[in-house]
Structure 1
Amino acid sequence: MRKIIILGLLAATVVPSVASAQSYGEARRSEQRLREDWQDYRRSHRDVYRAGNWNAPFRYSRWNAGAQLRPAYYSSRYYIADPYRYRLPRPAANQRWVRHYNDVMLVNVRTGRVMTVHRGFFW
């Protein structure tokens, strides 16, 4: 009786995994559908990714991590007030996410140092 129960449990765990296996072509098609769904999501939520007047009174500069910024580049006008809306991680103390044209930078507001740069974030 014990062997029958063990065999039944084994069959119950193995059979569903075998039945749900996908072929290579099915996996590629499902991956492509996910990619298309994400593109549709971004298109339908353009207002989230393009919201606000972010045109700065200075020219675009390509900043790298470790660079020192002048306060005009990271003033409160350019802070991203709700980083969760853009799926950005929570900034640490004395750090803010700042938009610079289509880039997003994590800046230490006490020193002006750039901690992280995401280029082309707002396509």
Structure 2
Amino acid sequence: MKSKFLTAGLIAAMMVPAVAQAQTREIERDRREVREERRDYRDAQRYGDRKDVREARRDYNDARKDYRESVRDWRQDKRYQNYRAPFRYQQFRVGSTLRSSYYAPNYRPAWDSRWGVPRAGRFQTYVRHYNDLLLVNTRNGKVIRVYRNHFRWR
């Protein structure tokens, strides 16, 4: 049992898109750099002269700019954009049946480990419906699981 779980975890980890991982690593690296530059800036304010403060402030501002650009690039990634459906919002419940147009490929975001949801199984797919994330059985259109306001942070 334990080896099956470990194997499934390793397979899932290998299937995460490399681009998404690289972008996430870049954002984490930039965030860490902002923290370091902020600490250096505070130290320069406490113990340095005007020149040290000016250089530290410039480095801190550059680090913040790099971080903002990384986040903007991540948000502008085309894989996360086409999710608005051409119909008004409807709250789905577990057991609801969807028409096939609701889970067309345009509304199926690629699975990403940052979402904190398990991978979809066989004949299942995740569907973004406004801020909700639905797990749908593609054979019969039944909603298996609903994650309400899952994309509210976007």
Asked if the contact 1:107–1:113 (Cα under 8 Å) also holds between the matched residues in 2, the reply is yes
- Higher share in helix: 2
Name the residue aligned to 1:84. 113
Matched, 1:120 2:149: yes
Distance in 2 (alpha carbons) for counterparts of 1:114 and 1:73 = 11
Distance in 2 (alpha carbons) for counterparts of 1:53 and 1:76 = 10
Quote the offset at 1:47 in angstroms: 2.5
Structure 2 residue identity aligned to 1:47: R
Matched, 1:102 2:131: yes
Residue pairs, 1:39-58, within 5 angstroms: 47=75, 51-58=80-87
Residue pairs, 1:2-41, within 5 angstroms: none
Select the structure of larger CA radius of gyration.
1
Distance in 2 (alpha carbons) for counterparts of 1:113 and 1:83 = 22
Name the residue aligned to 1:71. 100
Asked if the contact 1:83–1:97 (Cα under 8 Å) also holds between the matched residues in 2, the reply is no
1:85-110 CA-to-partner distances (Å, cap 9, x unmatched) read 42220111100011000000000001
- Unaligned ranges ≥5, structure 2: 1-70
Name the residue aligned to 2:45. none
1:22-69 CA-to-partner distances (Å, cap 9, x unmatched) read xxxxxxxxxxxxxxxxxxxxxx68839xx3132211111100000000
Name the residue aligned to 1:60. 89
Distance in 1 (alpha carbons) for counterparts of 2:112 and 2:140 = 21
Distance in 1 (alpha carbons) for counterparts of 2:121 and 2:138 = 11
Higher relative contact order (CA 8 A, sep 6+): 1
User: How many residue pairs get matched?
Assistant: 79
- Unaligned ranges ≥5, structure 1: 1-43
Structure 2 residue identity aligned to 1:111: N
Quote the offset at 1:83 in angstroms: 3.2
